[in-house]
Every structure is written in C-alpha cells, then in structure tokens.
C-alpha cells in the first residue's frame, strides 16, 4: 500500500507521513482519495490494490498539480535552520546563521518549509508544467524519497536520544557535585534541589525504559 503513494511526506492527506496514511487505508480508516501529489492515477492505484471504487480527489486535501521545488532567496535567508528541521527528506542544507540551499534532486515539493520560514524567503517553482500526479513523479523518485525519509526518521531519533543522554549526564554530574556547583548553602534547600534533580532523572530513565 505504501509503495503506491508518491512518498512526498507532505501531510496533506491528514496523516504525518505516507506510511501512516497507507496504514489508515489498510485499516479502513481513511479514503483512497486524500493524496493530491498522487492525483487521479494515485487514486486508481489504491483502488486497484484495495478493490475499492475510484473516487475524485477530495478537495479538502488539495488539488492535483505539477510537481514543485522549493527555492530559497539567498538575499533574504537568515540561516535560522527552521526549514532544515521541517524538511522530511533532508533536502535542505546549511548551517546556523548561514544561507541555506535546497537540493533539487531530493526536494519532494512537500511545502512544509514554507510556513516555518520567519522571513518568507522560500517560494515554489513548477518543474513539470503540463504534467501532474504520477505523470510528474516517477517510481524511482518515490523510492528515493521513501528511503531518505526513513533515514531522516533514524537521524532525528538518534539526535534526540543523544541530546537526552547529554542532559542526563549533565544532571548526574550536577547531582554528584551539588554542594560545589550550587549557589544554595542551606541543607534544606540543597535537599529540595537534590530531590528535583533526582525526580527529573527518574522521569528521563523511565522514558527510556531503563
């Protein structure tokens, strides 16, 4: 089911990614006409797989159109990195306070970078005029986008885990050296501070299942 979707990860179907939408269809919780990037052919593919009757694209989720690419205006980009964080396939590169650049070959045209830009320096350009849906997006492109999204999820999970481990190590160090590192001097205040840190560590470990 998931392979019948274009893998733009645009969320216009109402689900966080193509995989989630595919599962919702398989469970009978979603209709097959909620994917604008797939368009009419995408609906036909899903209809054939599910043995459901084809339906017109639901306008509540958007309209079928040409494939678009994001373009960043170099003169206005402030390097905030918000678009990098929003891109589901890591198609935007750049550092903090440095100009960002879109990798055209990897951009799915999901548009998720548009609303997060605080200076409105990102626009969309049509790259398949006269062609839309699967006529504007190939199976190899979809497979590449699916793979990049999978690695994006792995990277985000890894970064989150490493950040949590850094914070936990910092809290453990502070707990072990509380009297030296704290401005508090009264024993009762130190005990309260110690209890707060211990509670935070317990929550972190419970979250990780340790």
Structure confidence by residue, pLDDT tens digits, 62-117: 999 999 999 999 899 999 999 999 999 999 999 888 899 999 999 999 999 999 99
pLDDT for res 85: 95
DSSP assignment string, 14-71 = SSSSHHHHHHHHHTTSS-S---TTTHHHHHHHHHHHHTPPP-PPPGGG------EEEE
Eight-state DSSP code of residue 119: T
Q: How far apart are CA 86 and CA 88, in angstroms?
A: 6
Mean pLDDT along residues 111-126: 96
Are the CB atoms for 62 and 8 separated by under 8 Å? no
Mean pLDDT of the chain: 90
Under CATH, what is the fold of the domain 65-137?
A: Alpha-Beta Plaits (3.30.70)
pLDDT for res 1: 83
Mean pLDDT along residues 108-129: 96
pLDDT for res 160: 86
Are the CB atoms for 145 and 8 separated by under 8 Å? yes
**Does the pTM exceed 0.75?**
yes
Domain locations in the chain as residue ranges: 2-61, 65-137, 139-208
Bridging pattern class, strands 101-102 and 92-93: antiparallel
Q: How far apart are CA 26 and CA 54, in angstroms?
A: 15
Task: Express each pLDDT in 41-71 by its tens digit.
Answer: 999 999 999 999 999 999 999 999 999 999 9
Task: Express each pLDDT in 143-160 by its tens digit.
Answer: 999 999 999 999 999 988
Which CATH architecture describes the domain 2-61? Orthogonal Bundle (1.10)
């Amino acid at each position: 089911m998931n392979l019948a979707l274009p893998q733009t990860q645009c969320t216009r179907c109402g689900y966080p990614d193509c995989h989630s939408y595919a599962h919702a269809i398989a469970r009978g919780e979603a209709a097959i006409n909620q994917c604008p990037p797939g368009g009419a052919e995408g609906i036909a593919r899903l209809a054939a797989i599910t043995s459901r009757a084809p339906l017109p694209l639901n306008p509540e989720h958007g309209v079928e159109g040409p494939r678009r690419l994001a373009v960043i205006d170099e003169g206005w980009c402030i390097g905030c990195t918000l678009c990098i964080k929003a891109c589901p396939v890591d198609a935007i590169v750049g550092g903090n306070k440095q100009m960002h650049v879109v990798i055209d070959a990897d951009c799915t045209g999901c548009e998720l970078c548009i609303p997060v830009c605080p200076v409105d320096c990102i626009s969309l350009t049509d790259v398949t005029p006269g062609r839309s849906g699967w006529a504007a997006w190939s199976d190899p492109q979809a497979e590449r986008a699916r793979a990049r999204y999978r690695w994006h999820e792995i990277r985000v999970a890894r970064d989150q885990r490493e950040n949590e481990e850094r914070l936990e190590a910092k809290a453990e160090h502070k707990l072990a050296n509380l009297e030296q590192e704290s401005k508090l001097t009264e024993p009762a205040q130190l005990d309260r501070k110690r209890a707060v840190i211990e509670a935070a560590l317990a929550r972190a470990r419970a979250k990780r299942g340790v």
